[in-house]
């Protein structure tokens, strides 16, 4: 990137005031805002994530698949343990708490809205806890039912959307690329992560959620957490001394 040089006569006429060119007024003001935001983050030493999610970071956020197979009869096989799945959602909530708190470190400095996580526990600041990428197999009355599992998945996906929205606000302020999203995450509701409802067990084998569907959801979620962490850490490195040039200088 080559910095824009502002000369004394830069805005003598109106052309550069209304221009969308790299040396137009809007681009210059945006570049100055990015430079200022990076300096603010650098001085405050906003932390990187320690990503223990065990997910695999990708280039984009991918919508976690929700109940693709539909209800199954898990009387004999194919189900996922309801109790273990609730524990997995607890780990997702804990990750959301950590990520929300770290985003707020930067948001507070940049004057951006704060994120809030209704549930979850932060064991270590800025450290995303390990996630379950597979579920425990269960059949009969210990298997997770389809309706309550799908409801919990949708709430968890909505919370992910809130995290992405909050992270993107910081990334854009620093001049970094936004996290691209795929799939219907819904409209952010004020950066609030809500409690993930409890998954119930089936009364009998029929009406259960497929273990394969649960595994696909959990794996995609962990990967998304890793993707978010990688994008965040790359942007925070931009704010370290000497890591990047200024966008705007006097010329």
Instruction: Evaluate if residue 70 carries a pLDDT over 60.
Output: yes
Instruction: Evaluate if residue 246 carries a pLDDT over 60.
Output: no
Provide the 8-state DSSP code for 200.
P
Instruction: Evaluate if residue 196 carries a pLDDT over 80.
Output: yes
Q: Token match 């983050």: residue?
A: 41
Q: pLDDT digit string (tens) for 115-153?
A: 889 899 999 999 999 999 999 999 999 999 999 999 999
Q: pLDDT digit string (tens) for 210-220?
A: 999 999 999 99
Q: Which residues contact 38 (CB under 8 A, 6 or more apart)?
A: 174, 175, 238, 239, 244
Confidence of residue 47 (pLDDT cuts 50, 70, 90): confident
Confidence of residue 249 (pLDDT cuts 50, 70, 90): very low
Confidence of residue 226 (pLDDT cuts 50, 70, 90): very high
β strands within the chain, DSSP E: 4-6, 50-51, 72-73, 116-117, 127-128, 192-193, 206-208, 248-250
**Residue 184 burial (10 A CB sphere; 0-12, 13-18, 19+):** exposed
d(CA 149, CA 78): 15
Specify the higher pLDDT residue, 121 or 32.
Answer: 121
What's the pTM? 0.84
The per-residue pLDDT for 140 is 94
């Amino acid at each position: 990137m080559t910095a824009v040089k502002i000369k004394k006569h830069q805005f003598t006429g109106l052309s550069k005031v209304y221009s969308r060119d790299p040396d137009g007024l809007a681009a210059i003001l945006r570049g100055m805002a990015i430079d200022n935001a990076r300096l603010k983050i650098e001085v405050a030493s906003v932390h990187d994530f320690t990503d223990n999610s065990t997910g695999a970071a990708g280039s984009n956020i991918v919508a976690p698949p929700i109940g693709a197979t539909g209800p199954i009869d898990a009387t004999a096989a194919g189900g996922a343990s309801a109790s273990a799945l609730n524990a997995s959602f607890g780990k997702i909530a804990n990750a959301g708490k950590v990520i929300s708190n770290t985003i707020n470190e930067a948001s507070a400095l940049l004057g951006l809205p704060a994120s809030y996580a209704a549930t979850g526990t932060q064991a270590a600041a800025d450290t995303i806890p390990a996630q379950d990428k597979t579920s425990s197999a269960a059949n009969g009355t210990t298997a997770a039912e389809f309706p309550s599992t799908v409801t919990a998945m949708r709430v968890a996906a909505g919370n992910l959307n809130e995290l992405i929205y909050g992270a993107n606000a910081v990334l854009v302020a620093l001049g970094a690329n936004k996290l691209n999203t795929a799939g219907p995450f819904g409209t952010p509701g004020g950066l609030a992560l809500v409690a993930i409802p409890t998954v119930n067990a089936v009364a009998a084998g029929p009406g259960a959620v497929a273990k394969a569907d649960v595994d696909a959801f959990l794996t995609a979620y962990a990967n998304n957490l890793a993707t978010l962490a990688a994008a965040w850490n790359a942007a925070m490195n931009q704010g370290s001394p000497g890591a990047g040039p200024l966008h705007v200088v006097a010329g």
